[in-house]
Amino acid sequence: MSVRIDIDRLSARIAALGRIGALPGGGCKRLALSPEDAEGRALVTGWFRDLGLELHSDQFGNTWAIRPGRGGTTAAPVLMGSHIDTVATGGLYDGALGVLAGIEVIEAVSEAGIETERPLAVAFFTNEEGARFQPDMMGSGVATGALDLAAMLAQPGIDGMTVGEALSRIGAAGPEPAGALRPSCYLELHIEQGPVLERAGRAIGAVTGVQGISWSEFTIEGAAAHAGTTPMDMRRDAGVVAAGIVAEARAIARDFGPPQVATVGRLQFAPDIVNVVPERAQLTVDLRNTDDATLRAAEARLAERARALAEAEGCTLTQRSLARFAPVGFDPDLVEEIAQAAAGAGLSGCKMPSGAGHDAQMFAPLCPTAMIFVPSQGGVSHNIREYTSPAQILPGVQLLAQVALARAGHRQDRT
Ligand code: HGY
Ligand code: MN
Ligand code: MN
């Protein structure tokens, strides 16, 4: 008995979810726990209900739905999922694909009349992106105990509201305790979000793990002064220190070489006026590397340089960590299973690490966990032009179904 994935049905759901928070030029903005996120949650939860799944949600708004196995829904499920929150310039596929593909797999399995040994489940986790509230992977981190619930509820967002306030404002907190979701294994289908698969002409990535992530916020205090009358040797220009940190981030990536990456995503000056020397500057630096020791060396160099720049300019400097996750390895057997299934299906695949963070990395310490990548056209993501075609998505969903069913105790031939 084989499972037939309905790519048109899945594409229609991707489009429907993408209409929530739709941006004028395409793409969408559904910041975590925003009204748009609430609308997206309602739409997806409605699809869970339509399939007659058993609905669950925890006190952090993580939400999952279970299709019973032979013994009902009490056994630890094979879990598929991802996130439905987006960055402010999000595409239609980052996160959404993993959740909606999980729904599609479950619907197709039900249509095939298949009974699995283990339950199958699909989830979306709160605030994977970390765009509004840092750190990223917050919901899955709380669900797995990697992040403390109370501390995360108290986290202020970039708009000042705390996670707890935002959760209650949209009524997303559920009745179950954080930690209630304990799958037997976790599989996440995701777009690659980079150029590797496309450049290599591969259809599938069997993801071996996630690189380390370090987010810092620097706040520099100097002195406001007249741009025209203040001699250069009298200035305490917070903007110049910030600019030096930006240059240092790029220099670190250059000097360390791939896979080291460095990004300054946020930079603000105050009072932000053309003829006033900035008295205050605040910026974020995102450093990543597959090797933790190298990432720590990059962090140390950045911190040292920032301190020296501030001292030379007579400014004060404070550095705050917004996120730090060590590199994570996925379950080698599950990764191999994905690679073998791709090969068995005649798909061109490769094993590769993930440059982006994902909810899967939070489950890796708890249960066999792995990810399946499909290509991102032009390697573009976190951009409204993010695109992966239905023809590129279909093999990924078929693999997800095949591996999930095998792990749920049902062997199936290829669809
Ligand atoms: O930052 C990341 O890698 C992910 O998109 N949260
Ligand atoms: Mn994502
Ligand atoms: Mn993302």
Q: pLDDT per residue over 392-408, tens digit each?
A: 999 999 999 999 999 99
Indicate which atom in ligand 1 lies nearest the CA of residue 131: 6
Q: Which among 41, 56, 51, 372 is positioned nearest to 188, based on CA atoms? A: 372
CB-defined site of ligand 1, < 6 Å? 128-130, 136, 356-357
Mapped onto helix, strand or coil, the DSSP state of residue 316 is: strand
On whether both 263 and 298 belong to a single domain, the answer is yes
Q: Measured between alpha carbons, how far is 216 from 322 in angstroms, rounded to an integer?
A: 5
Contacts of 115 (CB under 8 A, 6+ apart): 69, 70, 410
On whether both 15 and 139 belong to a single domain, the answer is yes
Cross-strand bridge partners of residue 147: none
Quick one: pLDDT at residue 411?
60
Domain boundary among 325, 341, 360: 325
Helix (H) or strand (E) holding 152: helix 149-153
Split at pLDDT 50, 70, 90, the class of 2 is confident
Q: Measured between alpha carbons, how far is 187 from 404 in angstroms, rounded to an integer?
A: 7
Assigned domain for 308 exists: yes
On whether both 37 and 177 belong to a single domain, the answer is yes
Instruction: Please give the distance, rounded to the nearest whole angstrom, from the Cα atom of residue 153 to the centre of ligand 2.
Output: 21
Mutate to test the pocket of ligand 1, among 358, 380, 381 (most ligand atoms within 8 A of CB): 358
Question: Residue 51 phi/psi, 5° resolution?
Answer: -90, 5
Over residues 310-330, the pLDDT tens digits come to 999 999 999 999 999 999 999
On whether both 174 and 192 belong to a single domain, the answer is yes
Indicate which atom in ligand 1 lies nearest the CA of residue 286: 1
Quick one: pLDDT at residue 415?
44
On whether both 221 and 168 belong to a single domain, the answer is no
Indicate which atom in ligand 1 lies nearest the CA of residue 137: 6
Instruction: Please give the distance, rounded to the nearest whole angstrom, from the Cα atom of residue 239 to the centre of ligand 2.
Output: 32
What CATH number should be reported for the domain holding residue 256? Answer: 3.30.70.360
On whether both 309 and 238 belong to a single domain, the answer is yes
On whether both 280 and 387 belong to a single domain, the answer is no
Assigned domain for 276 exists: yes
Indicate which atom in ligand 1 lies nearest the CA of residue 87: 5
Q: Whose CA is nearest to atom 6 of ligand 1?
A: 129
Question: How many domains does the chain fold into?
Answer: 2
On whether both 238 and 201 belong to a single domain, the answer is no
Helix (H) or strand (E) holding 217: strand 212-221
Assigned domain for 321 exists: yes
Domain enclosing residue 315, as ranges: 212-325
What DSSP character marks residue 317? E
Q: Measured between alpha carbons, how far is 101 from 223 in angstroms, rounded to an integer?
A: 53
Split at pLDDT 50, 70, 90, the class of 410 is confident
Cross-strand bridge partners of residue 58: 176
Mean pLDDT along residues 20-49: 97
Assigned domain for 1 exists: no
Domain boundary among 307, 325, 343: 325
On whether both 66 and 186 belong to a single domain, the answer is yes
On whether both 199 and 258 belong to a single domain, the answer is no
Indicate which atom in ligand 1 lies nearest the CA of residue 94: 5
Assigned domain for 291 exists: yes
Over residues 242-290, the pLDDT tens digits come to 999 999 999 999 999 999 999 999 999 999 999 999 999 999 999 999 9
Q: What tokens appear for 277 in the block? A: 């020397």
Query: Do 189 and 371 meet the contact criterion of CB atoms below 8 Å apart?
Result: yes
Assigned domain for 2 exists: no
Instruction: Please give the distance, rounded to the nearest whole angstrom, from the Cα atom of residue 171 to the centre of ligand 2.
Output: 23
Q: Which among 41, 38, 58 is positioned nearest to 49, based on CA atoms? A: 41
Instruction: Please give the distance, rounded to the nearest whole angstrom, from the Cα atom of residue 308 to the centre of ligand 2.
Output: 36
CA 164 to chain centre: 20
Instruction: Please give the distance, rounded to the nearest whole angstrom, from the Cα atom of residue 101 to the centre of ligand 1.
Output: 20
Pairing label, strands 204-210, 369-374 = antiparallel
Mutate to test the pocket of ligand 1, among 93, 126, 133, 136 (most ligand atoms within 8 A of CB): 136
Residue indicated by tokens 């705050």: 320
Query: Do 108 and 13 meet the contact criterion of CB atoms below 8 Å apart?
Result: no
On whether both 298 and 188 belong to a single domain, the answer is no
Q: Residue 294 is which amino acid?
A: T
Torsion of CA 150, 151, 152, 153, to 10 degrees: 50
pTM score above 0.85: yes
Q: Whose CA is nearest to atom 5 of ligand 1?
A: 129
What CATH number should be reported for the domain holding residue 36? Answer: 3.40.630.10
Over residues 215-252, the pLDDT tens digits come to 999 999 999 999 999 999 999 999 999 999 999 999 99
Give yes or no for a cis peptide into 68 (omega within 30° of 0): no
Assigned domain for 372 exists: yes
Q: Measured between alpha carbons, how far is 60 from 83 in angstroms, rounded to an integer?
A: 13
On whether both 26 and 84 belong to a single domain, the answer is yes
Domain boundary among 302, 325, 348: 325
Mapped onto helix, strand or coil, the DSSP state of residue 264 is: coil
Q: Residue 344 is which amino acid?
A: G
Assigned domain for 66 exists: yes
Instruction: Please give the distance, rounded to the nearest whole angstrom, from the Cα atom of residue 84 to the centre of ligand 2.
Output: 8
Q: Measured between alpha carbons, how far is 25 from 348 in angstroms, rounded to an integer?
A: 33
